[in-house]
Amino acid sequence: MASPLDVGTVTEALKEHYKPLRVQNMVYKDNPLLAMMPKYTKFGGENMPIPLLYANPQRRSATFATGQANTSTSALKQFVLTRVKDYSFASITGESIKATERDSDAFLRYATMEIDGALHSLTRSLAVAMYRDGTGSIAQSEDNPNGSYANLTLINKDDVTNFEVGMEIAFYADASGKPGADRGQNRIIQSIDRNATTKQITFTANIHVDVAYTDHLVQAGDVNAKVTGLEGWCPSAAPAATAFFGVDRTADSTRLGGNRFDGSALPIEEALIGGASQVAREGGRPDVCMVDFATFSNLEKALGSKVVYDEAKGRDVDIGFAAISLRGPRGTIKIVPDQNCQPNVAWMLQMDTWSLNTLGEAPMFLDLDNNRMLRESAADAYEVRLGYYGNCATNAPGYNCRVAL
């Protein structure tokens, strides 16, 4: 007869099942940007300085005395990167452990279903955040519910992929494109219609009377607490004087705040080449362009018989992603579709200027005491904790471009 399960045995079984390579494959296989971005896993201390030389000394002149008289020095700024934290939890009931105590395989099937789900939720949240600005906004309301109904549609319909049944959502007034005042009264998602033209979200109760058109939807607890991704480092408009990781980017809004190219009136291929050319003008060498699936499909159709398929590889993991090769001004650019990318935007990137900087792996099991299952204090259950500590950064914003489509 098999021996009954105990917490120690379960912990060892989970460690054996969730080996680092398996976790990496689970994390990266559906998230190209997350997979392709260089990783630095030793983000210790309170912050990480990221120096950026954005102008060389200008003591040059065809006239000796003029050049000598100019006392300018190198223009240097230093971003002071800070970490954010994110967590996900899996709960395994005492009853299920007892019911499978003499069948370790049955227990593992049940436990991994819960843990895989928690890992997926954490990973997807990180992958979406890497395209966003750190505010936690994952969609904006297209409706004015007036407190009389529980349904909501989104301005960008494809943002519906960022939501799941059971998710708790907080609502914030729009403040110049970012979450502002908290509307109060969070709501739980009851159902999601992903196939309808409206792609509607239904909550368990009527939405607060103050929620209005353009209000931001944020998963509860996430406001201004997420990884600062591409939209933060290369915003849609030239950055204001507000300090960004300690830097006023108005001194050179391109080299400190990225390129912006409006290709919305152009054929898609011309828009992408236009963005790449703008990066090349600044000295960058874009090698990857991230788009959503609709844009990728439109590019395939536009290129027709000229389309050249390729593969983009993940960093430090043997995972490849479908890509289209496009000849840019400084070499081949791989156009890669990503479910997490915003609609109507293409991100023209020099990938070696980017990094995901973390304290340990992202994500990882939070088991410093070597115990992956912790007894819950207020429930007949055991808890498995996952999380990460870190942030995203580029050391050369000007070598990257946000292309509006």
Q: What is the mean pLDDT of residues 48-74?
A: 87
Half-sphere exposure for 40 (CA within 13 Å, toward CB): 16
pLDDT band for position 195 (cuts 50, 70, 90): confident
Is residue 16 pLDDT above 50, yes or no? Answer: yes
Per-residue model confidence (pLDDT) at position 1: 36
Give me the mean pLDDT over the 206-216 stretch. Answer: 94
What average pLDDT does this structure show over 193-208?
A: 91
What is the C-alpha to C-alpha distance for residues 84 and 75, in angstroms, rounded to an integer? 29
| Half-sphere exposure in the Cβ direction for 255 (13 Å, CA) | 15
Residue 4's pLDDT is: 47
**Residue 39 or residue 315, greater confidence:** 39
Q: Is the pLDDT of residue 25 over 90?
A: no
CA angle 28, 258, 328 (to 5 degrees): 70
pLDDT for position 3: 46
Angstrom CA distances, 45 to 132, 357, 360, 390, 395, stand at: 25, 12, 13, 11, 19
Predicted confidence (pLDDT) at residue 110 exceeds the cutoff of 90: no
pLDDT at 107: 79
Mean pLDDT for all residues in the chain:
92
Q: Region 262-290: what's the mean pLDDT? A: 97
Multiple choice CATH, 259-356+396-404, 3.30.2320, 2.30.29, 3.90.930, 2.60.40: 3.30.2320
Higher local confidence (pLDDT), 315 or 351: 351
pTM: 0.91
* Tokens of residue 269, six digits: 């291929």
Those residues whose C-beta lies under 8 Å from the C-beta of residue 314, and which sit 6 or more positions away, are 28, 32, 35, 36, 320, 321
Cα(335)–Cα(287) distance, integer angstroms: 9
* Mean pLDDT across 42-68: 89
What is the rounded average pLDDT of the residues 42-53?
94
Q: Supply the pLDDT for residue 53.
A: 86
Question: Which is more confident, 256 or 6?
Answer: 256
Rounded to an integer, the average pLDDT of 250-274 is: 97
Integer CA distances (angstroms), 183 to 150, 206, 220, 334, in order: 15, 13, 12, 42
Place 318 in a pLDDT band, splitting at 50, 70 and 90: confident
Do residues 83 and 348 lie in contact, with contact meaning Cβ atoms separated by under 8 Å? no
- The domain spans of the chain are 137-219, 259-356+396-404
Instruction: Collect all residues with Cβ–Cβ distance below 8 Å to 369 and sequence separation of at least 6.
Output: none
The pLDDT value recorded for residue 9 is 67
Q: Is the pLDDT of residue 96 over 90?
A: no
Q: What number is the average pLDDT over the span 81-93?
A: 95
Q: So what's the pLDDT on residue 8?
A: 66
pLDDT tens, position by position, 355-375: 999 999 999 999 988 888 888
Q: How far apart are CA 385 and CA 405, in angstroms?
A: 40
